[in-house]
Amino acid sequence: MADERIDPAAREDKWVVDHYARYLFASSVAAGRRALDVACGTGFGSHLLAESGATHVLGADLAQDAVDYATA
C-alpha cells in the first residue's frame, strides 16, 4: 500500500494523532446515524465510527489494495 496511509500503531506520530482526533470528533456525532467515510484507506476510521454506534458505515477509497485490506 501507499506510504501515505495512516498507521494507527504509530501513536507518537503527529499525523496519526491529528487523524485520530478527527475520527474521535466524527464519532461523537455518528452514534445512531449513518456515516460515509470517503478516502477510508485501510478502514481504521470506519471501524472507529462503527464502534461509536453508527447505524451503518460505508467506507470508500480509490485504492483497491486498501479496500481489500479493510475488508479482509
- The H-or-E segment that residue 36 falls in is strand 34-38
Question: pTM of this prediction?
Answer: 0.78
More confident residue, 6 or 3: 6
Task: Return all residues near 20 (Cβ < 8 A) that are at least 6 apart.
Answer: 8, 11
pLDDT tens digits for range 15-35: 778 888 899 999 999 999 999
The domains of the chain are located at 34-72
**∠ Cα 27 30 31 (to 5°):** 100
pLDDT above 50 (res 9): yes
